[in-house]
């Protein structure tokens, strides 16, 4: 490629650099990179850091004449468009990041707060009681919940019967059964 340059461009380093740059980075490519930057979307499975770095690379190629802070702002604008969770987007913007790295850090932190608990657990009380929600597509969890509800109902019925038996003055054995015909006076 260098051999194809005019002789006057080969003699001076800066002219050679400019000529080679025009050859490899024509003005038309600048428009291509601008379009790619404006339409770049985060791919499924792509990490925020990787996505942010690619935005910076595209901004650098789309606007080589701008200072780094301006390129960073173009990249940030596109980054913000890909924050699909409105709560995360709001929280990240509230941190007022000035760099992609700051935005990535804030995004990862905010996402960690908004991730659901595993295995259908929606809340854990201070006493350790767990609230379980039906997870879409998990019929086993629904079946377990239904059986637990039936068991709870049966337990309450048994407790009521036991109280009634004790109130009638009858005795219960170790397993909670009424002993035949004995009445305590």
CA 101 to chain centre: 17
**Which tops the pLDDT comparison, 48 or 7?**
48
- Residue 24 DSSP one-character state: H
User: 31-35, 95-99, 128-132, 152-156: which has the minimum mean pLDDT?
Assistant: 128-132
Specify whether 73 is located in the same domain as 12.
yes
Q: Are residues 94 and 143 in the same domain?
A: no
What pTM did the predictor assign? 0.51
96 plus 32 within the same structural domain: yes
Note whether 41 and 69 are same-domain residues: yes
pLDDT attached to residue 134: 45
In a domain, 30, yes or no: yes
Q: Tell whether the model's pLDDT for residue 67 goes beyond 70.
A: yes
Token pair 């038309």 is found at 28
How far apart, in whole angstroms, are the C-alpha atoms of residue 180 and residue 151?
A: 26
pLDDT of residue 141: 77
Cβ neighbourhood burial of 12 (10 Å; 0-12, 13-18, 19+): exposed
Is the domain of 94 the same as that of 159?
Answer: no
Residue 122, in any domain of the structure: no
Residues 56 and 145 in one domain: no
Q: What value does the mean pLDDT take over residues 89-114?
A: 92
The least confident of 29-33, 53-57, 107-111, 165-169 is: 165-169
pLDDT at position 135, please? 47
Domain that holds residue 166: 135-183
Q: How far apart are CA 74 and CA 63, in angstroms?
A: 9
Does residue 123 sit within a domain? Answer: no
**177's torsion region: left (phi>0), alpha (psi -120 to 50) or beta?**
beta
Check residues 42 and 129 and name the one with the higher pLDDT: 42
Which residues have C-beta within 8 Å of that of residue 134, sequence separation ≥ 6? 120, 141, 142, 145
Looking at the fold, whether 12 and 58 belong to one and the same domain comes out as: yes
Q: Does 177 lie in the same domain as 139?
A: yes
Residue 126 lies in a domain: no
| Co-location of 110 and 139 in the same domain | no
In this prediction, residue 164 has a pLDDT band, given cuts at 50, 70 and 90, of confident
CA–CA gap between residue 2 and residue 19 (Å, rounded): 9
Average pLDDT, the chain: 78
Q: Name, in order, each residue with C-beta under 8 angstroms of 74's C-beta and a sequence gap of 6 or more.
A: 37, 59, 62, 63, 66
- Determine the 3-state secondary structure of 60 from DSSP: helix
176 within a domain of the structure (yes/no): yes
| Euclidean distance between CA atoms 155 and 96, whole angstroms | 56
- Predicted confidence at residue 31, as pLDDT, reads 86
pLDDT value, residue 147: 86
One domain, residues 10 and 93: yes
Give me the residue label for tokens 């509800």.
Answer: 149
Query: Which candidate, 154, 151, 116, 113, places its Cα nearest to that of 136?
Result: 116
The count of structural domains within the chain is 2
Residue 128 lies in a domain: no
pLDDT score recorded for residue 144: 82
Residue 124: predicted pLDDT: 47
Instruction: Answer yes or no: do 88 and 147 share one domain.
Output: no
93 within domain boundaries: yes
């Amino acid at each position: 490629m260098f051999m194809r340059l005019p002789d006057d461009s080969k003699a001076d380093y800066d002219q050679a650099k400019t000529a080679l740059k025009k050859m490899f980075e024509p003005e038309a490519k600048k428009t291509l990179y601008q379009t790619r930057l404006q339409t770049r979307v985060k791919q499924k499975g792509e990490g925020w850091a990787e996505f942010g770095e690619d935005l910076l690379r595209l901004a650098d190629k789309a606007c080589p004449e701008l200072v780094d802070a301006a390129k960073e702002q173009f990249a940030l604008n596109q980054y913000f468009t890909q924050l699909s969770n409105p709560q995360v987007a709001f929280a990240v913007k509230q941190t007022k990041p000035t760099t992609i790295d700051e935005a990535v850090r804030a995004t990862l932190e905010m996402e960690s707060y908004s991730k659901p608990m595993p295995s259908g657990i929606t809340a854990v009380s201070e006493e350790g009681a767990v609230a379980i929600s039906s997870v879409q597509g998990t019929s086993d969890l629904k079946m377990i919940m239904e059986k637990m509800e039936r068991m709870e109902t049966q337990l309450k019925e048994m407790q009521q019967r036991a109280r009634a038996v004790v109130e009638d003055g009858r005795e219960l054995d170790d397993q909670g059964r009424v002993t035949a015909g004995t009445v305590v006076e």
